[in-house]
Structure formats: C-alpha cells, structure tokens
C-alpha cells in the first residue's frame, strides 16, 4: 500500500492525533484542552493550523499566524509550532508543511517568515532544518512568566 501525504486544514476531530505530536514538541497536553484551545484560537482569521496525514494518520502539523510588522510596513508570518512525528521524520514532511505556509504567504504578498526554536541540544536538527530552508538567526528570544 502506497503512503500518500495529504496536507489539510485542522478539523476538530484531529485533536486526539495531535496530542502525541504536542508531547514530542515538548508541550504535553490532553485532548480536552486542545479541543477547547484550538477552535478558540482558530476563530481568529489570522491564525491557521495545517495537519499532515498519511493513510489517515496525523503525522505532523504547522501552526502559524499572520501579523503586522512594527519596524516596517506590511505583514509577516510567524510560525508558532511545527512538528513531525519522530517515526516519520527526514521524509520531507516538515518541508512540505513549510512550503504550504510559504505558498500562503506569497498568495498574500507576504515576503517575511519568522520562527522561534528552543536553544536546547534536542533542537539542533530543527535549527539545521530552518537554516536549510533559508532562515537565518537574527535575534534572541526572551521569555518571562508573571
């Protein structure tokens, strides 16, 4: 049976399949939380979530938002989350997801994409992926919990 990659818009039924991917991304969550969080977020027109499936199994997703730039005129796309199941990596799935976002951006005449990625050793492969896809390191990210 040939495996066929399909990239489509998130559906509420996808929450169960996203749970293990969130865990692999380092953000454990349960189905009920996702079933509340994602539809709430995705009612905002600038937020988007695409899932990658193979043989009806969710194997990856990318979440992104269209935002205004403060430092220049126009919009940019910020990738909020990108993950491919560890058993399906290095098969071009993350690249296919990212290409769909790039296509979305070009359709809206948006030329800039941004992404943050953790600075742990576990993220080194992700950093190499982003650099291979044309991203360059331009800043440090900071976080503060209050």
Say yes or no to pLDDT of 127 above 80: no
pLDDT at 121: 64
**Three-class SS state of 69:** coil
108: CB partners within 8 A, 6+ apart: 66, 75
pLDDT of residue 91: 84
How sure is the predictor about 130, in pLDDT bands with cuts at 50, 70 and 90? Answer: confident
Chain segment 60-88, per-residue pLDDT in tens: 999 999 999 998 899 999 999 999 998 88
Q: Give the CA count within 13 Å in the CB-facing half-sphere of 110.
A: 19
Q: Would you call 124 helix, strand, or coil by DSSP?
A: helix
Q: Could you report the per-residue pLDDT of 12-65, keeping only the tens digit for each?
A: 999 999 999 999 988 999 999 999 999 999 999 999 999 999 988 999 999 999
- In the chain, the percentage of residues whose pLDDT exceeds 90 is 61
| Gap between the Cα atoms of 101 and 91, Å rounded | 18
Distance from the first to the final alpha carbon of the chain? 51
Q: How far is CA 34 from the centre of its chain?
A: 15
> What burial letters (b/e) apply to 103-113, b meaning 16+ CB within 10 Å?
eebeeeebeeb
Question: What are the sequence ranges of the domains in the chain?
Answer: 5-132
The helix/strand/coil state of 29 is coil
| Average pLDDT over every residue of 118-124 | 67
Between 104 and 135, the higher pLDDT residue: 104
Helices (H), 1-146: 15-25, 31-42, 93-107, 124-132
Q: How many CA atoms lie within 13 A of 49 on its CB side?
A: 20
**Residue 1 reports pLDDT greater than 90:** no
- The band of 140, judged by pLDDT with boundaries at 50, 70 and 90, is confident
Tell me the fold of 5-132. Answer: Aminopeptidase (3.40.630)
């Amino acid at each position: 049976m040939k495996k066929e990659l399909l990239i489509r818009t998130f559906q509420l039924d996808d929450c169960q399949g996203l749970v293990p991917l969130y865990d692999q991304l380092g953000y454990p969550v349960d189905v009920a939380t996702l079933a509340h969080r994602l539809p709430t977020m995705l009612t905002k027109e600038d937020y988007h979530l695409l899932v990658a499936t193979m043989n009806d199994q969710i194997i990856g997703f990318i979440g992104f938002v269209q935002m205004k730039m403060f430092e220049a005129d126009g919009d940019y796309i910020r990738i909020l989350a990108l993950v491919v199941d560890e058993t399906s990596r290095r098969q071009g799935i993350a690249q296919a997801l990212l290409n769909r976002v790039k296509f979305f951006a070009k359709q809206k005449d948006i030329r800039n994409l941004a992404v943050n990625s953790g600075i742990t050793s576990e993220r080194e492969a992700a950093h190499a992926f982003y650099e291979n896809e044309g991203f360059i390191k331009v800043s440090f990210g900071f976080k503060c919990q209050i």
